[in-house]
Chain A
């Protein structure tokens, strides 16, 4: 029976490489495979049952709501005050504008789970400033495109919710697990920009000087986003509401703040709603078919065969993680984060269990690896979003600009593998 699973996987890979959408390829292979392994009537019943269960999954509905929240921040432009404030505090160091933009992306990531919304918003705000102070194009575009990935590590993160739903892992623990790696990433990125600009000041000059009064007054413009962050994250960990409720409260918060700042328009809201509809339908499709594929692998015994194979090869967990990392880097050149996770987690998760790895830790590992995929050519979603916002910067310069950040992300992976407590300390401390 495992052979049916094997043939199914080969056929699925052929379909994917030909360009058939992930949802359709996974769904059709799983349905045909399950009908060979079991019988058609039970497959049909399972199909509708899984479609209904996934479509009414209360945890899952926070993904579109967090994404809607990020899109509203983008469409209404309420994040511009955040950069003004950070720049007044950090702008006086070498590469100050870049350091400020990375920190702003990190803070922006704390109010949205969407990496591309973060890049689109920040690129729109920062690009004119970086141009005005004659910052190096490649360095600045690379910094913004890479800093956008902080949004999927720093909670709330669409990637963690997706992984949590897929593997039945606590979304609250995953959110907390992403905080320290997210801050470390942000520190690495800032240090790199500062160091490059210190060595060669022409890459990024020191910004204008601001008085303490101006700095303190700049905090006034950020009250809305600070309140939003405090409500969403504070609400989840203060036990006031679940992550799904937090996403709804966050949306209300964005609507309220943009309304007060007179930036709320029906057009902006409508565009954000329709855009979110695409993401919701796409994510639902891949989760539905991902579940079907997981059932197919389980019923045909392919999952067990895979685990047995790993056991037979006597791989160590480190070698397994190295192989997984290489697979993520290869697939990351062709797929975005959701596609990457749905194609890998049903296969890797049983092996993660076999090795006794912590599912929360592996979630962070998988999300950081997917983050590298967001930057790697030729797909590199964030690079394309950056190019849309700054069409005068050649694509090759942006890809060259993001390369050091990809290396830093790989270094972070090595770091969390050697010291898993970087990931697990906070969730273990806060949630027993």
Chain B
């Protein structure tokens, strides 16, 4: 089947590729990891008479990493739900306004998440905050969240500055 890229796709750029690679890595590693850990937990509980206390934590942390590492690429590929029936009918000028509003709204959400995430990291490092079961330090997870938000913010900004002003650079196929 012919591969279609969304109008927001910036796969030709470094940051667009990075977003896709992060998505691809997270989906292939963490979904299989969650499946494997759940399988081992169920097997050990029912066959060997006892499960592991850490299995749920591993799945939860994997899910956290998965959903954040996929955020930027999901926007880039226009896979977030939206009422695009009106958008598709709008003239180019209104579409630009919508795109601008999308960027502002996403910046408020992900920008503040990244901002607060950064200050949380300082705090987590200072008090050596760790997970309940495996005692893993929390800051790498917060750092992944901040990293993913920043990748998305750069994609949004790049779309605003480069792609939005030059239609020929849009990844429409």
User: Do A249 and B81 touch across chains, with their CB atoms under 8 A apart?
Assistant: no
Tell me whether A44 and B115 are in contact in the complex, defined as CB-CB below 8 angstroms, given that A21-B82, A31-B109, A248-B38 are known contacts: yes
Interface of B, secondary structure class, is: helix
Which of the four size classes fits the interface of chain B? 35 or more
Tell me the minimal C-beta distance from A178 to chain B in angstroms.
Answer: 22
User: Do B74 and A60 touch across chains, with their CB atoms under 8 A apart?
Assistant: no
Tell me whether A56 and B64 are in contact in the complex, defined as CB-CB below 8 angstroms, given that A21-B75, A23-B109 are known contacts: yes
Q: From the candidates B68, B74, B77, name the one contacting A55 in the complex (CB within 8 A).
A: B68
A40-93 with Cβ < 8 A to chain B: 44-45, 47-48, 51-52, 55-58, 60-61, 64-65, 68
Which residues does chain B contribute within 8 Å of A249, judged by CB atoms? 38-39, 42
A282: CB under 8 A from chain B? yes
User: Do B70 and A65 touch across chains, with their CB atoms under 8 A apart?
Assistant: no
Tell me the minimal C-beta distance from B52 to chain A in angstroms.
Answer: 13
B98: CB under 8 A from chain A? yes
A256-312 with Cβ < 8 A to chain B: 270, 273-274, 276-278, 280-282, 284-286, 289
Q: From the candidates A58, A68, A284, name the one contacting B59 in the complex (CB within 8 A).
A: A58
A197-251 with Cβ < 8 A to chain B: 240-241, 244-245, 247-249, 251
User: Do A61 and B60 touch across chains, with their CB atoms under 8 A apart?
Assistant: yes
User: Do B75 and A19 touch across chains, with their CB atoms under 8 A apart?
Assistant: no
Q: From the candidates B24, B70, B112, name the one contacting A281 in the complex (CB within 8 A).
A: B70
A37: CB under 8 A from chain B? no
Which residues does chain A contribute within 8 Å of B154, judged by CB atoms? none
User: Do A20 and B101 touch across chains, with their CB atoms under 8 A apart?
Assistant: yes
A277 vs B67: C-alpha distance when bound (angstroms):
7
Q: From the candidates A18, A56, A252, A286, name the one contacting B101 in the complex (CB within 8 A).
A: A18
Tell me the minimal C-beta distance from A231 to chain B in angstroms.
Answer: 10
B18: CB under 8 A from chain A? no
B66: CB under 8 A from chain A? yes
A320: CB under 8 A from chain B? no
Query: Which one of A25, A277, A285 has the highest number of Cβ atoms from chain B below 10 Å of its Cβ?
Result: A277
A16 vs B109: C-alpha distance when bound (angstroms):
16
User: Do B31 and A65 touch across chains, with their CB atoms under 8 A apart?
Assistant: yes
A27: CB under 8 A from chain B? yes
Question: Which of A96-104, A332-340, A393-401, A402-410 is found at the contact surface with chain B?
Answer: A332-340
User: Do A289 and B60 touch across chains, with their CB atoms under 8 A apart?
Assistant: no
Instruction: Mark each residue of chain B from 106 to 147: 1 if its CB lies under 8 Å from any CB of chain A, else 0.
Output: 101100110111001000000000000000000000000100
Closest Cβ neighbor of B67 among chain A residues: A284
Which residues does chain B contribute within 8 Å of A281, judged by CB atoms? 23, 66-67, 70-71, 73-74, 79
Which residues does chain B contribute within 8 Å of A56, judged by CB atoms? 60-61, 63-64
A378: CB under 8 A from chain B? yes
Tell me the minimal C-beta distance from A199 to chain B in angstroms.
Answer: 36
User: Do B120 and A58 touch across chains, with their CB atoms under 8 A apart?
Assistant: no
Q: From the candidates A19, A22, A277, name the one contacting B23 in the complex (CB within 8 A).
A: A277
Query: Which one of A248, A284, A289, A336 has the highest number of Cβ atoms from chain B below 10 Å of its Cβ?
Result: A248
A414: CB under 8 A from chain B? no
User: Do B63 and A21 touch across chains, with their CB atoms under 8 A apart?
Assistant: no
A285 vs B61: C-alpha distance when bound (angstroms):
16
A47 vs B120: C-alpha distance when bound (angstroms):
12
A244 vs B95: C-alpha distance when bound (angstroms):
40
Can you list 9 residue pairs at the A/B interface with Cβ under 8 Å? A21-B102, A44-B116, A51-B113, A64-B66, A273-B32, A274-B23, A274-B28, A278-B70, A334-B86
Interface residue ranges, A against B (CB under 8 Å): 15-25, 27-28, 31-32, 44-45, 47-48, 51-52, 55-58, 60-61, 64-65, 68, 240-241, 244-245, 247-249, 251-252, 270, 273-274, 276-278, 280-282, 284-286, 289, 333-336, 338-339, 378-379
